[in-house]
Structure 1
Amino acid sequence: MSDLSETTLHPVFEIDQPNRYGRYIISNPREIIWHLKLLKDQRNFITLYPNHLDQFFLTSIISINEKTGELILDAPGLPELLESALKSTSSTLTTSMDKVKVQIRLGPLQQTQHENSPALLTRLPQAMLRLQRREFFRIDTPRINPLRCKLVKHHGETESEVFDFPLLDISGGGLCLSGPVEAAEHFSLGELFTDCRLEIPDESVISVNLRVREISRLETANGQMQLRLGCEYVNLPSARQNLIERYITRLERARKAQTDLI
């Protein structure tokens, strides 16, 4: 297996890696505002990470004021999360829009009121990342008999904890897992899990190294909240990459054939 020592120091967010993802970073104010309005109109769930990254909460865009250059977001309900947000010198919003990964860097947040409800006020962002590449195209995985992945968290040299989660989607660049929302406390952004066991139908169980890139909460159709864990592959050998992409191609063809029959 390849040496992982260099990869552990990579920035958590792609927006912080301009050498690699610079062409996906938007800095034109009009274009940024246009995308912000889409997020607001679509009522997208957005995850806000304060700058120290050990906490996060769901928010949404409430108001965009182009004249004053201000953005208003929903405030978290828990006092400790609100305090964490207000102490941060910067924050990062993450979401997806039409299956395109979106990251937005914000400056300091202030507490305010919007229509008699608590809210967060900040300046309009100067940078936004929209990561749309073929390898990051995600396809939903089956909900019946779902693919599964096992992650092992080591506690010292002798103790370990195994998490066995179903997949929500998969791409050539990573995968998304779901689990009980209370499991969120066991994961942190940028954390690296080695030798994870990923099931690939009609192939085998393969070993992958996964870095946690997104921790958020997902509301299910019955109103329940679930943990959503977005991960990227680290040092994935080309043979295993081919297995994953071959499965994605089979899944796409099966979906297309089913659509054609309708």
Structure 2
Amino acid sequence: MSTEAMRGRFPWGLTIVCAIALALLVGLGTWQVQRLQWKQGLIARSEAAATQPPVSLETLAQLRDPEFRKAVLTCDLQNQPFVELQSIHDGQAGVRLISACESWLIDLGFVADTVSARPERQPAAIPGIVAEARKVEAPNGFAPLPEGNRFYARDTAAMSRALGIDGPVRPYVLFATGSAWPQWAELQPSAPPAAFSNNHLGYALTWFGLALAVIGFYIALLRRRLRPQAALLPEQGDRAKETFH
């Protein structure tokens, strides 16, 4: 069989399919490596912020990325209006009370649905409440619309309008770590947990491993496809000699 005939039997379809699969798997593996670097940076920032003392809201506003940093709240949160965000905390349904302080949204904490009462106004503020800044994502277009002061998604823009906050909407919410109403035990202040799952290295190795498997699969099929054709060449040569003689 001639070289041209062997080239005619080259598995172009298989090559294209394997090339597409290889590009997809390598792309997914590379993306997971990038996610790994991002997650490691996020964990490092969280750990570094935990060792730093709380700052003022003015200082917090000057930081390029204040996520995980703590600030001292000086507003009279006991006498500020708030809206309610439907939420679940430790498997229990309820709401989170959202107020404002110096153009920052303040998550005051969780109240279970079994509690119908709301805190009463107090004659004096509770000074020195510490809150942790966390970045929040804007809700998607399928999020339910608010009903009065009850929200069903953390729509910071709509919450800011409802609370009378002027100016640009910050992509951060301050989560109070102390209660604005210490005498009201039903309120549970809490910031989102800073524990991060970091399985991106395992995912990357999985995708790259599958890419190597595709390469091995392609080489094995290619050799199997071409070897029988190459093996016929000596036999054809012998037959040609017999015919000549």
TM-score, normalised by the number of residues in structure 2? 0.25
* Structure with more relative contact order (C-alpha pairs < 8 Å, separation 6 or more): 2
Q: Which has the higher helix share?
A: 2
Q: Which has the higher strand share?
A: 1
